[in-house]
Amino acid sequence: MCRCTRLPTNRGRGQKRGRRPSPAASREPVRKGTAMPVIERTVDKNSDLYKLRHSLAHVLAQAVQELYPGVKLGFGPPIDDGFYYDFLFPEGVVLTDEDLKGIQKRMQKICREDQPFVQEDLPFEQAIARLTEMGEPHKVEYCKELHDKKGFDTIGFYTNGPFVDMCEGPHVENTKNLRPDCFKLHSLAGAYWRGDEKNVQMTRIYAYAFESKDELKAHAQAVEEAKKNDHRILGQKLGIYSIADEVGKGLPLWLPNGAAIRHELEKLAYEMEFAAGYHKVSTPEITREGLYYTSGHLPLYKHSMFPPMELYEEGPGGGGEGDENPTERYYLKPMNCPHHHMIFKAQKHSYRDLPLRISEYGRCYRFERAGALQGLTRVRGMCMNDAHIYVTPEQLKDEFKAVMDLHKTYYDLFGFEDYYLRLSQWDPDDPKKGDKYVDDPEGWAFTEKVVQEALEELGLSYTMERGEAAFYGPKVDYEFRTVTGREFTATTNQLDFAVPKRFGLVYTDSDGEEKTPYCIHRAPLGTHERFIAILIEHYAGAFPTWLAPVQVNIIPVSEKVIDYAKKLEAMLRKDLVRTELDDSNATMGKKIRSGTTRKIPINLIVGEQEAEQNTVTMRRYGIEDQPVLALDTFVSELRDEIRDRVDVRRDMR
């Protein structure tokens, strides 16, 4: 991509006009696209911080036991920014946010006491006896597991004051080492025992904890600050999307500004895919059920699909109560792959056609559970940057690598740095593997080797997850964290050695034999919904010009120059630049403020001087200097900036 031609970024240029800007205090700060405050992801178990958090978790349990006799304990580990503890409260006791204050107070009291942490190891039988006597059924269960499955002969316990917990440690020496002002209980949540929703739901209390009061305060502030970049806040403020009860949860409405971003992403994808030899296709959003038996979505994926639309002899809606047998069932598509396979099948293919790459920004609908929905990151209706690539075994690795390269091109363009790759493989030792994976150990061995080699040949680092594969093959996911700290798979590259066979897809090889192709499922721009959520947060709502919903805002100094401003607007719009003219009856300062708070990348000031000299004064978002540019220079350089998708503020993010 050419980056040599670009509009001046205004930095280092001397041209300034007018007064100095007013004091910064009156301004909306130009936010950086920061993610969550930096958090230690893996705290060393012997570090002071780990001991502190671990010990405070015990103090929390101790305080809760004192205040709510009869409470049962679950797990209480240190986490990234503090710790939590899970409790099962006696029947009828419901904890609310208000109660946290009282618990925190009791904890602080314990911290002021002189209670040494004393460690002891008990033989397994004695440990069970003690936990049983303590009335801790969950601890007993876990203790047995440590013994039976992990071979522990002795079990560790820690005692401080009146409180005893089964625990491997380590801890601080004494509760008085725990500062009462460096932790804060901040939220309550339901959590299933051992993370299994078939188990009882316990009450989890979360806390922040740091080594000093200042760090705690800084963390709480950073969390507040990060929330301002939340795509749900900015999406509302910048008019990107809206979710209306009347339409349905998880079904976003894209406002004009959001639709403009979608348009740019689709244009980007089209250009990249066209150049890489993809063929664009289009498929319907509803489909007869039979296709999903072929694909295996029914019944395997049924829980994530909207229930079917049923047709009866007498027409849609049916012939009434007695008419129980629909003649046809249609489903909203949850994925595009079955349709793309049908497109492959619609024509006869030779090995000469391969790799055959078919792509579509396809709309899919999934019945996500209500509690899982979240802004744009988790929705029920989505539009996916999908493509399926059919290849011979020989082509598989290179094509998989080409998709990884495409990812890299996109990620470099956006300047993404804060993400990681996750390689998901099957789990041959999973007792339920028959339900989760295609039963073809050789296929798994081959494709996993291909994927791993591809990653290594490209020199990419990744984490490996056993048991996280798709049912048809291994995959590489690109994982992101939102400003609120949630992790999401943004984009994906998957290998499929099973489904083409189910569909009976074949190509004629050079030897005249019909063979089944491998398939790569890929979505390097993910779905519009999740990807735009990431972009909003990444750019803190201040998009580079090519992606910005409104690219140029024209601010006439007075009505005297309205004709010049209108001419300018018409000229830019003719060039397909998303331009607005602020001809409202407001002062110039007000218009600048408004253009800036809307994070429009370029505000143009035009007054009598500009009109006379055929120039514009360019005010870029987040950049102080304001050059005066000849009109044709501005237009041609803007055109280049947009065409080359240059992000002039890249180094400032």
Residues numbered 3 to 22 that lie near RNA (CB under 7 A) are 17-19, 21-22
- Residue 250 binds RNA (CB under 7 A): yes
Q: Which is nearer to RNA, 106 or 422 (CB)?
A: 422
> What is the smallest separation between the CB atom of 528 and RNA, expressed in angstroms?
9
Q: Is 151 helix (H, G, I), strand (E, B) or coil?
A: coil
Q: 604 with 553: CB under 8 angstroms?
A: yes
Minimum distance from residue 231 beta carbon to RNA (Å): 10
Contact mark string toward RNA, 586..625, x via CB under 7 A:
xxxxx-xxx-xx-------xxxxxx------x-x------
Q: Which of residues 327-366 bind RNA (CB under 7 A)?
A: 366
Beta bridge partners of 207: 83, 185
Backbone angles phi, psi at 118, to 5 degrees: -115, 125
The answer to whether 207 and 183 have CB atoms below 8 angstroms apart is yes
Query: Which listed range, 322-330, 341-349, 497-505, 520-528, lies at the site for RNA (CB under 7 A)?
Result: 520-528
CA–CA distance, 522 with 403 (Å, rounded to integer): 7
Q: Does 370 bind RNA (CB under 7 A)?
A: yes
**Residue 425 or residue 527: which is nearer to RNA going by CB?**
527
Phi, psi for 391 (deg, rounded to 5)? -140, 160
| Shortest distance, position 349 Cβ to RNA, whole Å | 27
The reply on whether position 96 binds RNA by CB under 7 A is yes
Of positions 336, 484, 553, 579, contacts RNA by CB under 7 A: 484
* Span of 23-31, 288-296, 403-411, 412-420 interacting with RNA by CB under 7 A: 23-31
Piece of the chain touching RNA by CB under 7 A; list 59-67, 186-194, 275-283, 292-300:
186-194
Residue owning tokens 């029947």: 91
**Which one, of 467, 32, 37, lies nearest residue 219 by Cα?**
37
Q: State the minimum distance, in angstroms, from the CB of residue 593 to RNA.
A: 4
- The reply to whether 58 sits near RNA by the rule CB under 7 A is no
Answer whether 517's CB lies under 8 Å from 392's CB.
yes
Of 432-451, binders to RNA (CB under 7 A) are: none
Kindly tell me which of 104 and 395 has the beta carbon lying closer to RNA.
Answer: 104
**In this chain, which of 101, 249, 449, 466 binds RNA, going by CB under 7 A?**
249
Instruction: Residue 635: name the closest of 582, 570, 581, 588 by CA.
Output: 570
Residues 522-541 interacting with RNA (rule: CB under 7 A):
523, 526-527, 529-530
Work out whether 485 is an interface residue with RNA (CB under 7 A): yes
Q: Are 278 and 289 in contact (CB under 8 A)?
A: no
Torsion over CA: 341, 343, 347, 350 (sign): negative
Radius of gyration, CA atoms only, the chain: 30
User: Segment 551-580, which members bind RNA (CB under 7 A)?
Assistant: 556-560
Site string for RNA, 100-119 (x = CB under 7 A): --------------------
Q: Kindly write down the DSSP assignment for every residue of 547-575, as one continuous string.
A: T-SS-EEEEESSGGGHHHHHHHHHHHHHT
User: Per-residue contact track with RNA, 254 to 273, x per CB under 7 A?
Assistant: --------------------
Q: Give the residue with the Cβ less far from RNA, 139 or 366.
A: 366
Q: Provide the 3-class DSSP secondary structure of residue 110.
A: helix
Touching RNA, residues 272-311 (CB under 7 A)? 304
Supply the DSSP string of 587-630, one letter for each residue.
-HHHHHHHHHHTT-SEEEEE-HHHHHHTEEEEEETT-----EEE
Distance CA 52, CA 62 (A): 15
Least distance CB 350 / RNA (angstroms) = 32
Size of the site for RNA (CB under 7 A): 91
